[in-house]
Amino acid sequence: MPPLPPDASQLNILNKSERKLIEHALRTRNEHFETLFMQAPLGIALIDSLTGQILEVNPRFAQIAGRSMAAMASIDWLQITHPDDVQADLDNMALLNAGKISGFQMEKRYLHPDGTAVWIDMTIAPLKVEDKCHPRHLCMIQDITQRKAADSTIAHLNRVYAMLSGINALIVRVGDRETLYNKACHIAVQAGGFRMAMICVVDKPTQQIVPMATTGKNNLLLSDIKHILSSPVDAPRTMVARAIREKAAIVSNDSQHDARVLFGQQYAASGVRSQVVLPLLVADEAVGVLALYASEIGFFQTDELALLTELASDIAFAIDHIGKREQLHYLAYYDALTGLANRSLFLERVAQYMRSAVSTGHTLALLLLDVERFKNINDSLGWPTGDALLKQVALWLTQSTGDANLLARIDADHFALVMPEVSQVGDLARLVEKTLETFLEHPFRLNDAVFRIAAKVGVALFPDDAADADTLFRNAEAALKKAKTSGDRYLFHTKKMTAAVASKLTLENQLRQALDNAEFVLHYQPKINLVSGKVTSAEALIRWNDPRTGLVPPGKFIPILEETGLIYEVGRWALRQAIEDYLRWRSAGLNAVRIAVNVSPLQLRHRGFTAEIAQLIGVDAQAAAGLELEITESLIMEDVTHSITSLQAIRAMGISVAIDDFGTGFSSLSYLAKLPVDTLKIDRSFIIDMTARPEGLALVSTIIDLAHSLKLKVVAEGVETDEQSRLLRLLNCDEMQGFLFSKPVPGDVFETQFLALTGAAPN
């Protein structure tokens, strides 16, 4: 017998029960939403799209806006927006309300009640509401004030570094005061981005301060400055006079409102907001000043002032050097026979180059060359023939170096050469060997006869071998004497250095043989998805399987490959091998993953690199999908324009691009959004620091958020602990790579251990 249908009372009970369940579910859902809304790390607000009235905010939004929750209920978004950003905001909202855009993102500023500006990254999204007459939108904000401040600091320091580099390069080659003054001011404005620059000197007889060179100042302002500096009453009140009197930098970071600035209004009209006057000290006496004027308020802070003080010291040194040179007769500094510098002038130049080497961090080399058989030629053919030989040697050396200022004749048959910048000692050794060979091959014509002359060389390095020019010279002399007695063609000052150079040259030859004999192999280190735990890709790492010693550590041979240029050929082999391995994995039915290959500076700078990549992937239509190029951040920033062009062409082929060691370079964040890349790899040092201190964790979090906002994948390098893995997963990092999962392994091991287990479809 079928059941009887429920009566009306039973239906009412069922409806009430269902309603209670629905109401409970809705209440629970609302509570969850309210909790997420109130505790979200982002500022979130519901805003009337037409009136701008803020309808509802969470505590983080009110905190970023600098107001209480109660205060936020009585204001609209225009009241908290910086006046300079209002129009851009209104324009975007007009497009949103007109239905021309579905949302937008922008960086803007909020103003706190005390006038403090806070930078935010704002995302606007419309909400679907039934009441079409009262549209709403959701506003989400992040406080990016610190990031903006860091960008500004980096931009400031970049400008100062550019100016410092340009003026130091000028100092090395400048020959007179006028050129020094004018070009230094020009570089300050053009390379340093300063609004104005001025150099004044103290006229010793009158003790009057005289402007010698300016760039960026208009004629009226310059006339006013000259007038006040010539006034015995007004001149002492100027910042220029004070800097000379106190022998210290005088700074005004708000020129328009600083009583010490006598032309505050004129400077403001010229776009100047802050300025510094730096004394030029020679033997603890202020001989003049360098004045720099910036268009930003508060430009001159501790870091900038440290660099600018160093710059003023370098200019003062140049002034002193020029003054000394002008006081002495030509013969006091030059060799009358060859026209080259003599020992005294050469040592002064070496000292100057040493200062430049200190500021730039370069190694400097001093070489002494001994002309063999000179005494025999001089004695047998006469001193006029000996003089003719010395002149020809001087001419040959000048043509070979391209700069006579780097050379000197020290005594009868000894010449000296300074190399201001030495990148690699191995390169220097090869250069010396080549120079000695070319010198021996050169025909010296004496008395209608051709002579082949040999030479020996002694080398000393700064700062390794000495801290001053005299000691460095003596050490080069000692190396030359030892070379003459030992029979070696050249020697370095230290036996250890000579042995190291010989060892490097031997290793270079072995590496060339290794390339010819196919001794290089690729090891693969997997990259793991932090959510799924699956292998998503792998990094190819070059290893040298030396038949004499077995696997050689990369740190021992990679630098030699880079020094010698062999990295280009080995890098090309690595690309070709990685592509072959990927295609072989696919053909074998394995779960092939994309392979990342490191690109060397030599490869990326090569104008034919893009065409070479196209040729390598041309072997198979699937090759591009299996290849990723890893390029270090510092390498990209060396030539941003060329890097962008090359990487765009590479990505157009279907190849992925990753920035390796992100955070260790000195890049401008403004370029990051322009770079055609797919992935950021966080450097291992940041991963280690992440668990050591809160600031490290915050920095990694910022990098991940920045990358994701640019729609870039993030890979953490050097992950070695479960704690690091856990934190990276919480920070929404995409992938990790490191010993926690696996060290780099040979290709066959990678195939058996990982490719059959990943579960990933072939790329």
**Residue 430 belongs to a domain:** yes
pLDDT at 459: 92
Residue 154 pLDDT > 50, yes or no? yes
Same domain, 744 and 636: yes
pLDDT in tens, 303-326: 778 888 888 888 888 888 877 776
Lowest-pLDDT range, 63-72, 328-337, 389-398? 328-337
Q: Which of 452, 251, 490 is nearest to 370 (CA)?
A: 490
Q: Which of 399-403, 660-664, 719-723 has the highest mean pLDDT?
A: 719-723
How many domains does the chain divide into? 4
Residue 330 pLDDT > 70, yes or no? no
DSSP 81: B
pTM over 0.75: no
Per-residue pLDDT band at 1 (split at 50, 70, 90): very low
Distance between CA atoms of residues 119 and 139, nearest Å: 15
Look up the CATH number of the domain holding residue 385: 3.30.70.270
Q: Which of 455, 473, 502 is the last residue of a domain?
A: 502
Residue 763 pLDDT > 50, yes or no? no
Same domain, 543 and 671: yes
**Residue 338 belongs to a domain:** no
Look up the CATH number of the domain holding residue 68: 3.30.450.20
Same domain, 700 and 656: yes
Give CA angle at 579 (518, 719), nearest 5°. 95
Same domain, 581 and 719: yes
**Residue 103 belongs to a domain:** yes
**Residue 510 belongs to a domain:** no
pLDDT at 762: 38
Above pLDDT 70, what percent of the chain?
89
φ, ψ (nearest 5 deg) of residue 624: -60, -35
Average pLDDT over residues 541-550: 90
Place of tokens 């250095």: 497
Distance between CA atoms of residues 592 and 755, nearest Å: 6
pLDDT in tens, 721-758: 999 999 999 999 999 999 999 999 999 999 989 887 54
Residue 5 pLDDT > 70, yes or no? no
DSSP 624: G
Same domain, 473 and 544: no
- Strands 490-492 and 455-462 come out as parallel
- Strands 407-411 and 414-422 come out as antiparallel
Same domain, 294 and 196: yes
Are 285 and 248 spatial neighbours (Cβ–Cβ below 8 Å)? no
Distance between CA atoms of residues 284 and 263, nearest Å: 29
pLDDT at 502: 58
Residue 474 pLDDT > 60, yes or no? yes
Distance between CA atoms of residues 484 and 1, nearest Å: 123
Q: Which of 112, 157, 204, 456 is nearest to 304 (CA)?
A: 157
Look up the CATH number of the domain holding residue 261: 3.30.450.40
Distance between CA atoms of residues 104 and 89, nearest Å: 10
Lowest-pLDDT range, 105-114, 130-139, 188-197, 714-723? 130-139
Are 476 and 367 spatial neighbours (Cβ–Cβ below 8 Å)? yes
Per-residue pLDDT band at 522 (split at 50, 70, 90): very high
The Cα-based distances of 669 to 141, 152, 153, 282, 702 in angstroms read: 20, 10, 12, 40, 12
**Residue 9 belongs to a domain:** no
**Residue 73 belongs to a domain:** yes
Q: Which of 271, 298, 327 is the last residue of a domain?
A: 327
Which has the higher per-residue pLDDT, 176 or 419?
419
Per-residue pLDDT band at 147 (split at 50, 70, 90): confident
Q: Which of 269, 237, 242 is nearest to 255 (CA)?
A: 269
Beta bridge partners of 109: 119
**Residue 751 belongs to a domain:** yes
Same domain, 99 and 187: no
Q: Is 278 helix (H, G, I), strand (E, B) or coil?
A: strand
The residues, any chain, with a CB within 8 Å of residue 80's CB and separated by 6 or more, are: 65, 66, 67, 110, 111
Q: What is the mean pLDDT of the chain?
A: 84
Same domain, 102 and 194: no
Look up the CATH number of the domain holding residue 640: 3.20.20.450
Q: Which two tokens stand for residue 495?
A: 């036996």
Q: Which of 112, 143, 174 is the last residue of a domain?
A: 143
Q: Is 262 helix (H, G, I), strand (E, B) or coil?
A: coil
Q: From the DSSP assignment, how many helices (H) and strands (E) are in the chain?
A: 28, 27
Same domain, 71 and 88: yes
Parent domain of 414: 364-502
pLDDT at 19: 67
Same domain, 108 and 216: no
The residues, any chain, with a CB within 8 Å of residue 206's CB and separated by 6 or more, are: none
**Residue 339 belongs to a domain:** no
pLDDT at 656: 93
Same domain, 646 and 694: yes
Same domain, 489 and 609: no
Distance between CA atoms of residues 328 and 345, nearest Å: 11
Per-residue pLDDT band at 269 (split at 50, 70, 90): confident
Instruction: Say how many CA atoms lie within 13 Å of 455 toward its Cβ.
Output: 26
